[in-house]
């Protein structure tokens, strides 16, 4: 039996990094990478006992909830860099309100604790688009709240994360695996720039070591501008599947329900919001990330191949 992990760091000479969203897909993939870094890793968890078996003994696990402001002060004590990978879309009927409150709680606590940098993963999309989905608008609002704290905030805006455990990728995979003929809305022709999970993780890690500066927003994506229909066709091609896409002007609630019947009940609500966001272009309009970081994201074909291999 492993000895229990201490609540706080006993290595004051090493920078302490706090990871929120450790139980999510991106956060879970980031944990082993951060554990290889010369830092003290601390993970925030609503249920520490559930997370502890998934991390190294050297990694601290502290109880906390972004919706419970008092619980954040202890978790952020002595933290140099904090990763904010929280999204409350799956467990709330009013996710915009709760995401707003969670971000405010975290931003205020980070400011009080003297955190040097917050690293946040949000979503692509044009703020000037009057039809921007609630999901994407909320993602941008969270980034704004974090920046307004006065703590230097590095916000990455990404489209679909292509990886074996990504819900948006799983939705695409389920549709393509199970439906030889798909009734699709015209907005499946909307342009998008997905990004492979390995590239997202690379950016998140590199942001930790950026020179100190002002808050910045980086838009990240693959070099390929494609449509969601293209993604379905490419996945089908690599899997040796013959699929037909029939486009209709709108996706009716009935058809949307058929699509969502292919995802698990626990992810139904998230899937609904993701589908609503498909009508918004999610492309990189500012390529500054390529100037600041050495990362060169892989193309869509390679990203999907990597995701397929990661599922085996």
Q: At the topology level of CATH, where does 16-159+194-222+282-297 sit?
A: Rossmann fold (3.40.50)
Q: Which residues pair with 245 in a beta bridge?
A: 182
Burial class (CB in 10 A: 0-12, 13-18, 19+), 240: exposed
How much is the pLDDT for 256? 62
Residue 6: CA count within 13 A, CB half-sphere: 7
- The count of other CB atoms within 10 Å of the CB of residue 216 is 16
In the structure encoding, which two tokens stand for residue 190, read together? 């909307």
Ordered by start, the domain boundaries in the chain are: 16-159+194-222+282-297
What tens digit of pLDDT does each residue of 189-245 get?
Answer: 889 999 999 999 999 999 999 999 999 999 999 999 999 899 999 999 999 999 998
Where are any strands of DSSP class E within the chain?
A: 16-19, 40-45, 60-63, 79-84, 117-123, 152-158, 161-162, 181-185, 191-192, 195-196, 216-220, 226-227, 244-248
How much is the pLDDT for 129? 87
How much is the pLDDT for 178? 84
Which of 58-62, 112-116, 150-154, 247-251 is predicted with the least confidence, judged by mean pLDDT? 247-251
């Amino acid at each position: 039996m492993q000895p229990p992990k201490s609540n706080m760091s006993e290595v004051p000479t090493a920078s302490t990094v706090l990871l929120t969203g450790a139980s999510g897909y991106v956060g879970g993939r980031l944990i082993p990478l951060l554990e290889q870094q010369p830092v003290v890793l601390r993970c925030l968890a609503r249920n520490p006992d559930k997370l502890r078996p998934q991390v190294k003994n050297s990694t601290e696990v502290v109880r906390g909830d972004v919706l419970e402001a008092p619980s954040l002060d202890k978790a952020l004590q002595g933290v140099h860099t904090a990763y904010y990978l929280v999204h409350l879309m799956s467990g709330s009927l009013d996710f915009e309100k709760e995401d707003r409150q969670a971000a405010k709680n975290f931003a205020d606590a980070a400011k009080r604790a003297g955190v040097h940098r917050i690293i946040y993963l949000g979503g692509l999309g044009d703020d000037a688009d009057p039809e921007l989905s609630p999901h994407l608008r909320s993602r941008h609002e969270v980034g704004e709240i974090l920046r307004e704290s006065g703590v230097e905030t590095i916000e990455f805006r990404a489209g679909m994360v292509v990886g074996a455990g990504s819900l948006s990728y799983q939705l695409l995979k389920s549709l393509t695996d199970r439906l030889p003929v798909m009734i699709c809305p015209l907005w499946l022709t909307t342009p998008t720039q997905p990004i492979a999970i390995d590239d997202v993780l690379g950016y998140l890690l590199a942001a930790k070591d950026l020179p100190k500066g002002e808050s910045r927003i980086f838009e990240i994506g693959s070099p390929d501008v494609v449509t969601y229909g293209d993604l379905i066709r490419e996945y089908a091609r690599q899997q040796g599947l013959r699929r037909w896409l029939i486009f209709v002007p709108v996706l009716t609630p009935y058809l949307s329900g058929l699509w969502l019947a292919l995802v698990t009940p626990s992810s139904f609500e998230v899937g609904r919001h993701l589908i609503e966001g498909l009508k918004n272009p999610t492309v990189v309009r500012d390529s500054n990330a390529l100037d600041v970081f050495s990362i060169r994201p892989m193309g869509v074909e390679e990203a999907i191949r990597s995701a397929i291999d990661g599922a085996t």
